[in-house]
Amino acid sequence: MTWARTGQPGSRAELPGAGAIGQQVRRIASAAAWPTAAGRPVPVWAVVSAGLSPVLIVAGWLAADALQPASYSPLRQTVSVLAGHAGTDRWLMTGALLLVGGCHLVTAAGLTGARPAARVLLIVAGLSSIGIATCPEPAHGSTPQHLAWTALGAVTIALWPVFVARRSAPHPLILSPSGSAVVTAVFAALLGWLIIETQSGADLGLAERLTSAVQISWPFIAALALRRAAPRSRQPELPADLLPRPEEQAITAGAPARQTESA
């Protein structure tokens, strides 16, 4: 049994409108092959890397603290001592600092919802953490390289909330200009406390640990807020040259096809 066009008995032919239907099928297939736009500006792996940073730094110094001799005081002495040449099993803290630096770099790569300046500063903070790990303190005193990396990282992460602030909608309250200003003021106060404790303070270790834990947690909060605030993107619209023409729409809408059956 064959299908033939009216007026052409016995000849094989496609059904009326089959060509238009085929063209639309090809258009749909082409659209399905397009990459789907990301539903949220911050991918899951960036949120995970940001959340790992405070976990790694806290776990690193807790594990290293437990291995130090009784003469070591976490309230008075800094984390740099744990990663320095005077520390016992210094590889623990050194590894934690390297991993935190790597997490900052990964997070900066995924924070597409943040301003470029914020992502650059997060890269600087990550490089600073790596620099602190690769320039350890000697058994006595410190080195200019270690002090430079430490100061750069502390200032960068303290000022970071200002640069991640969003003025355009949608933005969560904590990432608004006013919210970011409040967070930056808190970070500046913590940094000021840390600087005061460096002048022979009795709580230098406590100030450093509290300040770093709070500040390093903020990229995770920002990444999570950006991910939750971003609207889901819609599928991209078809280009004009792939949209069905009016006459094709009329054919596929149910135009009667005349068919003849030949034995």
Q: How confident is the model at residue 35 (pLDDT cuts 50, 70, 90)?
A: very low
Residue 258 included in any domain: no
- The whole-number pLDDT of residue 151 equals 94
Q: How confident is the model at residue 219 (pLDDT cuts 50, 70, 90)?
A: very high
8 A C-beta contact, residue 78 and residue 85: no
pLDDT digits (tens, 9 = 90+) for 58-100: 999 999 999 999 889 999 999 999 999 989 999 999 999 999 9
Q: How confident is the model at residue 247 (pLDDT cuts 50, 70, 90)?
A: low
Residue 147 included in any domain: yes
* Of 66-75, 93-102, 157-166, 168-177, minimum mean pLDDT range: 168-177
Residue 146 included in any domain: yes
- The whole-number pLDDT of residue 50 equals 96
User: Does 4 have pLDDT greater than 50?
Assistant: no
Regarding whether 183 and 84 lie in a shared domain, the answer is yes
Regarding whether 143 and 25 lie in a shared domain, the answer is no
Enclosing domain of residue 13: 1-34
For the chain, give the percent of residues with pLDDT over 70.
Answer: 70
Residue 66 included in any domain: yes
How far apart CA 65 and CA 208 sit, in angstroms, is 14
Residue 241 included in any domain: no
Regarding whether 180 and 69 lie in a shared domain, the answer is yes
How far apart CA 45 and CA 236 sit, in angstroms, is 24
Q: What is the mean pLDDT of residues 248-256?
A: 52
Residue 159 included in any domain: yes
Regarding whether 188 and 94 lie in a shared domain, the answer is yes
Overall number of domains in the chain:
2
SS (H, E, C) the chain: CEEECCCCCCCCCCCCCHHHHHHHHHHHHHHHCCCCCCCCCCCHHHHHHHHHHHHHHHHHHHHHHHHCCCCCCCCCCCHHHHHCCCCCCCHHHHHHHHHHHHHHHHHHHHCCCCCHHHHHHHHHHHHHHHHHHHCCCCCCCCCHHHHHHHHHHHHHHHHHHHHHCCCCCCCCHHHCHHHHHHHHHHHHHHHHHHHHHCCCCCCHHHHHHHHHHHHHHHHHHHHHHHHHHCCCCCCCCCCHHHCCCHHHHHHHCCCCCCCEEEC
Regarding whether 55 and 172 lie in a shared domain, the answer is yes
Predicted TM-score (pTM) above 0.75: no
Regarding whether 25 and 133 lie in a shared domain, the answer is no
Contacts of 80 (CB under 8 A, 6+ apart): 132, 136, 137, 142, 146, 150
- Average pLDDT of the residues of the chain: 79
Residue 188 included in any domain: yes
How far apart CA 66 and CA 70 sit, in angstroms, is 9
Residue 256 included in any domain: no
Q: How confident is the model at residue 215 (pLDDT cuts 50, 70, 90)?
A: very high
- In one letter, which amino acid is 93? M
Regarding whether 212 and 91 lie in a shared domain, the answer is yes
